[in-house]
Amino acid sequence: MTELSLRGLRKSFGGHEAIHGVDLDIPSGEFVVFVGPSGCGKSTLLRLIAGLEDISAGELSIDGAVVNALPPAKRGVAMVFQSYALYPHMTVFENIAFGLTLKRRDKAEVDRRVREVAATLELTELLERLPRELSGGQRQRVAIGRAIVRQPKVFLFDEPLSNLDASLRTQMRGEIANLHERLPDVTMIYVTHDQVEAMTLADRIVVLRDGRVEQVGRPLELYHQPANLFVAGFIGAPSMNFLAVQVSAAAEGGLACRFGEGLETTLPLGIGGAPEGVKTLGIRPEHLEEHPEGALAVTVERVENLGESHLVHARLPGGATLIARGSGAVEAKAGAKLRYALPPGHVHLFLEDGRSAAARQL
């Protein structure tokens, strides 16, 4: 059982600070996913944990012992890379066995462990092949096999599925989820910029931006209660709609709001203090409800029928755009006038500094 603790972890490359002091506790057996846009520092944070980069400041502990100075091989971690990093001249068997052979394990034991791992990952038939004779998904399984065979305490995945096509990604995602179930004591940390992977694999997601943690939480917690505009916009596809809204006062039954030209409504929300000012209202595309008396009168610009669902791209009188998602197909054409209601339980309000107003639904 392995617990990780990051305390004020920092990393500078020359004068550039890529990680600005990250605090995080990861209990044993947890599957944690680091997500964030390109350059936010997810891979760097993972490499600090792996020992592939030196920590500039702060402490990294594994099972209560500070490991800042320990080389990667002594940390009990195994890393799986996006590029697979297989040895091209070695067979699948030799690639998986490599770490054990290095440790001069008994030949019979190596053979047993490699075959066990190969069976788990359905690689038994491929053990004599070279990496170039494998598909992308099979290569990635070999890379995972090579990590599992070492029986690590912590598994680190750096965008392991990015090189695969869409259907293979879905399949491998399932395999990684199964792996987590089969190895319940192994702590897993997974880096991706694919939020579907993050939402489906994670026990907890860590959202990073510019080397800082924006929010840590369970997937649905981030979806339903984003702490700020950044997380709200990052989790969910298509992204949450954001509309500038002038809150004039707390009114009977909520907040009196105006957005766009001539669009006024009372939102059934309550926030503490003086609510007046320009805020940002957030509503997810799937939560906008078409309704003849809805508060948002829009003009349809484009409709995308996806089969099981549709997306309506529309514009408000003031010029702001929004996307609404509904089930099935829709007939609406460009130029059509529609109205959307804001269902009270799904409206988010963000303050001037981007933090969620954690509005009370009245």
Query: What residue ranges bind ligand ATP (CB under 6 A)?
Result: 13, 16, 18, 36, 38-44, 193
Compute the C-alpha angle 48/51/55, nearest 5°: 50
DSSP state of 167: H
Closest approach of ligand ATP to the CB of residue 57, in Å: 16
Query: Amino acid letter at 97?
Result: A
Long-range contacts formed by 324-332: CB under 8 A, 24+ apart: 324/285, 324/288, 324/290, 325/238, 325/285, 325/286, 325/288, 326/290, 329/305, 330/303, 330/305, 332/300, 332/303
Is residue 191 within 8 A of residue 158, CB to CB? The reply is yes
Measured from the CB atom, is 50 or 271 closer to ligand ATP? 50
Closest approach of ligand ATP to the CB of residue 263, in Å: 38
Measured from the CB atom, is 39 or 328 closer to ligand ATP? 39
Closest approach of ligand ATP to the CB of residue 232, in Å: 19
Measured from the CB atom, is 34 or 350 closer to ligand ATP? 34
Measured from the CB atom, is 79 or 245 closer to ligand ATP? 79
203: CB partners within 8 A, 6+ apart: 30, 31, 32, 218
Q: What is the DSSP string of 91-159?
A: -HHHHHHHHHHHTT--HHHHHHHHHHHHHHTT-GGGTTS-GGGS-HHHHHHHHHHHHHTT--SEEEEES
Closest approach of ligand ATP to the CB of residue 171, in Å: 23
Closest approach of ligand ATP to the CB of residue 64, in Å: 27
Closest approach of ligand ATP to the CB of residue 141, in Å: 22
Measured from the CB atom, is 43 or 228 closer to ligand ATP? 43
Measured from the CB atom, is 43 or 241 closer to ligand ATP? 43
